[in-house]
Amino acid sequence: MFPDGETVAPAVTAVFTAVLTEGPISRVALARRLDLSSAAVTKAARPLIEMGYLEELAATERTGPGAGRPASPLVIRADREFFVGVKITGDELIGVVCDLGAQVRASAHRRLAAADLDYVLTQLGELVDDLLDGPGDYRARTRRLGLAVSGDVDHSTGLVRYSPFLRWRDVPLRERAEKATGLTVTVENDVKALTTAEHWFGEGVGAESFALVTVGAGIGCGLVVNGRLVSGSHGVAGEIGHVGFDVNGPACHCGSRGCVEAVAGTDAIIRDAGLRFDDAVAAARAGDERVGAVFARAGEAIGCGIAAVANLVGPDRIVVSGEGLSAYDLFEPHIRAGFQRQAFGAAADCPLSIRPLPFEEWARGAATVSIKALVGQ
């Protein structure tokens, strides 16, 4: 962690993380929040301020009775350090530079003509150079790169065990990418990266448990329980797309029938509508009832899958997003209906945010993972 890999006290990590995700926040508030003495917070904050990661904000408006010394809230110095995040897909690299507050400062992408490792690494190196040496002069203050890859990824070793889209097996991606870029690299599964981003910097802030559902070609889910990301012991977790919806439904590529993904994945919609995805969206928007019903059923299936998550782990809040939600307007009410139908008891009260995914969000997730690595988590 931090400039030269020194280990730091737990309280320092805790304070940094809390300011990062919940700042600006005063020392007393931190002490309450983290169950520490205010003395401990003062001590933990000092080195962070000295290293330039935090700064004190001028006291602003008061909250309490009105008497007493006003708090001096701590905030991140967002431009203290920058982070590169790159999402690697089968045919494209999407890269961003984020500041410490996970705000996107620059972005770039490259089409990939192939998926073989050496070629991808060359392209990655060039993409990172483009980002860091372009306008903004980020190079000097950037040490870390986060990579987001779909599939089975061992975050702790940086090994890509298996990525179907890239057709990679047991690729030591961290090691190779560090050589190719000269940066300290962190590798994570793409959905988990996005989940972390949303948990630390998005709508999941402060949640003890949280779920992020991505809707697209596949339907996935990242899970935070008891404040920690769920990994799944066999490398499988969050496969909401293969929760059952209709035993008698259409065959799924997984071998079963009627999985959520077999009803609501992009391919399923193309199949049921008999149109390309964009055309189906257009038709439904134009009022085609038959195609509209396809989206309705798909949305309902997604909602039922989400309800399964709510029923099983009971998260504080759920965010639904993904490139499939470019057709947000067609899905949204049906996702909610499916969720309400299937959520049991108080699970139905779980707040559900449904919204399309901004471009670059996946790459921002990758950058977030490298911020998390800086903090040492």
In the list DNA, a copy of itself, none, the entry touching 233 (Cβ below 5 to 8 angstroms by class) is: a copy of itself
Closest approach of DNA to the CB of residue 375, in Å? 14
Nearest-angstrom CA–CA distance, 13 and 30: 12
| Nearest C-alpha neighbor of 30 from the set 3, 56, 1 | 56
Closest approach of a copy of itself to the CB of residue 344, in Å? 4
In the list a copy of itself, DNA, none, the entry touching 45 (Cβ below 5 to 8 angstroms by class) is: DNA
Closest approach of a copy of itself to the CB of residue 194, in Å? 17
Cβ atoms within 10 A of the Cβ of 277, count?
Answer: 16
Look up residue 160 and give its amino acid: V
Closest approach of DNA to the CB of residue 36, in Å? 4
- Using the minimum distance from each CB to DNA, give the nearer residue, 12 or 160: 12
Closest approach of DNA to the CB of residue 29, in Å? 7
Binding site for DNA (CB under 7 A): 7-12, 26-29, 35-40, 42-45, 59, 62, 64-73
Closest approach of a copy of itself to the CB of residue 291, in Å? 20
- Using the minimum distance from each CB to DNA, give the nearer residue, 9 or 251: 9
Closest approach of DNA to the CB of residue 16, in Å? 12
- Using the minimum distance from each CB to DNA, give the nearer residue, 37 or 256: 37
Nearest-angstrom CA–CA distance, 148 and 367: 9
Structure-block tokens of residue 366: 């990758």
Distances (CA, A) of 277 to 131, 227, 305, 321, 356: 33, 37, 22, 17, 16
Nearest-angstrom CA–CA distance, 43 and 239: 43
Distances (CA, A) of 324 to 186, 216, 264, 351, 362: 27, 4, 10, 21, 14
- Using the minimum distance from each CB to a copy of itself, give the nearer residue, 47 or 151: 151
Structure-block tokens of residue 138: 């980020």
Contact call for residues 268 and 259 (beta carbons, < 8 A): no
**Torsions phi, psi of 161, nearest 5?**
-70, -50
In the list a copy of itself, DNA, none, the entry touching 72 (Cβ below 5 to 8 angstroms by class) is: DNA
In the list DNA, a copy of itself, none, the entry touching 40 (Cβ below 5 to 8 angstroms by class) is: DNA
| Nearest C-alpha neighbor of 45 from the set 82, 7, 13, 2 | 13
- Using the minimum distance from each CB to a copy of itself, give the nearer residue, 269 or 309: 309
In the list DNA, a copy of itself, none, the entry touching 37 (Cβ below 5 to 8 angstroms by class) is: DNA
What b/e sequence results for 116-142 when a residue is b if at least 16 CB atoms lie within 10 Å of its CB, and e otherwise? ebeebbebbbebbeebbeeeeebeeeb
Closest approach of DNA to the CB of residue 53, in Å? 15
- Using the minimum distance from each CB to a copy of itself, give the nearer residue, 38 or 231: 231
Look up residue 122 and give its amino acid: T
What b/e sequence results for 288-320 when a residue is b if at least 16 CB atoms lie within 10 Å of its CB, and e otherwise? eeebbebbbbbbbbbbbbbbbbbeebebebbbb
In the list DNA, a copy of itself, none, the entry touching 230 (Cβ below 5 to 8 angstroms by class) is: a copy of itself
- Using the minimum distance from each CB to DNA, give the nearer residue, 37 or 122: 37
Closest approach of DNA to the CB of residue 4, in Å? 15
Work out the angle between the directed axes of helices 10-22 and 27-34 (0-180°, nearest 10). Answer: 110
Q: To 5 degrees, how large is the angle CA 223–CA 74–CA 48?
A: 85
Binding site for a copy of itself (CB under 8 A): 152, 208-209, 221, 223, 225-226, 228, 230-249, 254-256, 259, 304, 307-316, 341-347, 349-350
- Using the minimum distance from each CB to DNA, give the nearer residue, 43 or 141: 43
In the list a copy of itself, DNA, none, the entry touching 92 (Cβ below 5 to 8 angstroms by class) is: none
In the list a copy of itself, DNA, none, the entry touching 7 (Cβ below 5 to 8 angstroms by class) is: DNA
Nearest-angstrom CA–CA distance, 314 and 225: 9
- Using the minimum distance from each CB to DNA, give the nearer residue, 73 or 204: 73
